[in-house]
Structure formats: structure tokens, C-alpha cells
Amino acid sequence: MAAAAPHPFRFAAQAFEAKSGKEWLEIARRTEALGYSTLFTTDHYFGPGPIADSSGHRPVDVAPISAMAAAAAITTDLRVGCRVFNVDLHHPVVLAKEMATLDMLSDGRLEVGLGAGWVAAEYEGLGVTMDRPGVRISRLGEVVGLMKAHWCGQEMAVDGTFVHASGFAGLPLPVQQPHPPIFIGGGRQRILTLAGRLADIVSCNFDNSAGRLGSASVASSGADETMQKIEWIRAGAGDRFDEIELEIGAYFVAVNDDPGPTIAAMANRFGVGEAEFASHPHALLGTVDTICATLQERRERFGFSYVTIPQRNIDEFAPVVARLAGT
């Protein structure tokens, strides 16, 4: 059997820092103008304070659903999504209806990112019980099933261990049929196996089971660890593996002729060797030519064709997008 053709490159920007409505709308317009496929928000609810300090995650300015709707309203082709909704923070029927409505209002430009949560301090700060990982991941699987049932437009009859819905048909129908693309990611075996089984887009991420970003996150995501994650996805996906779009977040970006100082500083920060950091799957460092070659090599090696760039790097990374998007 011939090898499947690689998925064409797509690039997303992830943004959640904006001090005004004008600033947020400008981010959306610029993201589309620069050729990015998608603008992702994030599903966290804390500003500055102990939660941000202990988790290592930046404070979040905008709530995801309203920010996604505003971005879709003032763009034409830009896709919108959340990387990712924590299903523990949303009633599944309410979230399913919100997502169907967003897909309808955007004329089919939605990607539905779903996850099982990881910031323990945020759960505590919001007064939400954080169950053990196996329970959270099982709940996520049931939520995916409920959402797909809701988007069919038939009368709901869902009676799971964690989710229940009956006595009504889901409306509106999403524009994208049979449903908007579902995006699930993570860094450990159980979540990635589930993602391979259920998702259209799967993200290889850090192992954030410790509840904070840091050296352990970086160490959990080197080349060997990433290849293992791909195998977990493959095990879950079975025969449909080639249909899945594989995504990765480029959390460390420097587009310039001399990335050495950035490499040295980041390697020291995270306690890894400079050579290891320079080739880390979540790092894109160097000239436009170097980064393009790196992305092509990683698509060949790992299968990554969908790459998400942090808000702070949207402009400097734009020449890479211009060269590779759609190829």
C-alpha cells in the first residue's frame, strides 16, 4: 500500500491577551491577513495572582466563546477555536449548543478543542472538584459522544456515567457536517489514545500532569517522547490514523539569524543541553529557511502539519506561514 500523502501545512495563532475590544479585533484581523488558518483562544479564567504564579501559565484576559465569536464576525476566512475547552468547566449540552451556534454564525469556520483540564490551582481557585485523571479523561470521552449526538439534530438519548441528556433534539445544526472538527491533545498515553480514537485533529503536548509548566514539561516532550506519543495516537486511531491531522504547539520561537542567545537562555532555564533544546519538537529557532526545513523534516518524521504559534510571535513568524501554508 502506498504511503498516504502528507497533510498540507496549516498554522494557527493562539492569543488570549488583549486590554481592549479594539486590540482583540486587531489581533483577529492581523492573524487572517498574515495567512494563518486559525485563531485559537484558551479556556482559563484567572488573572494575575497565585494561580498564574504556581502554574507557570500566563494570566488570561479574554473569555473564549465571546472572543471567538467576535473574531469570526470581523473576518472572512479565519477559522476560530479554543485550545482547548476544559469539559469540567462547562455543562456539555450548553457547550454543544454554543459550538453549533458558533459554527452556524461563522458559516462553518469552527474547530472544537476539548480537554480534561490540568491546572490544579485553577480548579481550587474556582471551587471546582478536580477528579483523578482517569475519571476526567473518561468524562471527556462521554462529552465528545454527547456533542456529536447533539450536532446530529436527532432527539437526544444520552445516559452515560458522567453525562446525561434526553427529551429534546439538538439545535442549531452546525454548518460543517457531520460535525465541526474535534481537536483533542495531551501528553500521556490515556488521553492521546482517546484522542486517536475520537478526534479529527490531535495535538502532541507537554505532559502537564504535575499541574504546572516548567522543566518537567520540556523534558516530557523531546524527540523520543514525542515519537512515543505518536504511537499512542496511532494505537487509538487504528485504520483512520492517516486521516488525522497532527498538531503541535511551537512554544519557543525565534526567527532571526542568530538564535544562539535564545537557545542558551532557554536551555539554562529548563535545565537541558543547548543542542537538545535547539532541536526540541516544540521549538522553532533560526532563519526562515532553517525553520521551513525543520518543519518539513518534522512533518516527514512525526507527521506534524498543523503548527500553533504564540501570540507574541505572530508577526515574526509570518514569513514562514507565507512560504509553507497550504503546501
Q: In the prediction, which pLDDT does 208 show? A: 78
Residue 2: predicted pLDDT = 58
Quick check: is 295 in a domain? yes
Reported as half-sphere exposure (CB side, CA atoms, 13 A), residue 226 has a value of: 26
Inform me whether the pLDDT recorded for 1 exceeds 60. Answer: no
Contacts of 112 (CB under 8 A, 6+ apart): 81, 82, 85, 99, 147, 179, 180, 181, 182, 183
SS3 183: strand
C-alpha cell belonging to residue 134: 482517569
Dihedral over alpha carbons 66, 69, 75, 79 (to 10 degrees):
110
Q: Write down the pLDDT at residue 213.
A: 75
Does residue 38 fall inside a structural domain? yes
Q: Give the least confident one: 130-134, 210-214, 279-283, 291-295.
A: 210-214
Q: Position of cell 472544537? A: 112
Please report which confidence band the pLDDT of residue 212 belongs to, taking 50, 70 and 90 as the band edges.
Answer: confident
Q: In angstroms, how far apart are the furthest CA atoms of the chain?
A: 62
Query: Is 2 within a domain?
Result: no
Q: Is residue 53 part of a domain?
A: yes
Q: Quick: pLDDT tens for 40-57.
A: 999 999 999 999 999 889
CB 246 within 8 A of CB 279: no
Residue 104: per-residue pLDDT: 98
How many helices and strands in the chain, by DSSP H and E?
Answer: 13, 13
CATH number at residue 89: 3.20.20.30
Residues 121, 127, 128, 130, CA torsion sign: positive
In this predicted model, what pLDDT tens digit does every residue of 184-199 receive, in sequence order?
999 999 999 999 999 9
With respect to residue 67, please indicate whether it lies within any of the assigned structural domains: yes
Domain assignment of residue 4, yes or no: no
> Is there a contact between 204 and 47 (Cβ–Cβ < 8 Å)?
no
DSSP strand E in the chain: where? 10-14, 38-41, 79-82, 85-86, 110-115, 155-159, 164-169, 182-186, 201-204, 245-249, 252-255, 283-286, 304-310
Q: What's the domain count of the chain?
A: 1
Query: Does residue 56 or residue 27 have the better pLDDT?
Result: 27
In a domain, 1, yes or no: no
Give the DSSP letter string of 145-158.
HHHHHHHTTSEEEE
Which pTM was predicted?
0.95
Q: Which domain holds residue 160?
A: 10-324
Give pLDDT tens digits for 284-322.
999 999 999 999 999 999 999 999 999 999 999 999 999
> To the nearest whole number, what is the mean pLDDT of the chain?
95
Could you tell me if residue 97 is inside a domain? yes
Residue range 157-179: average pLDDT?
97
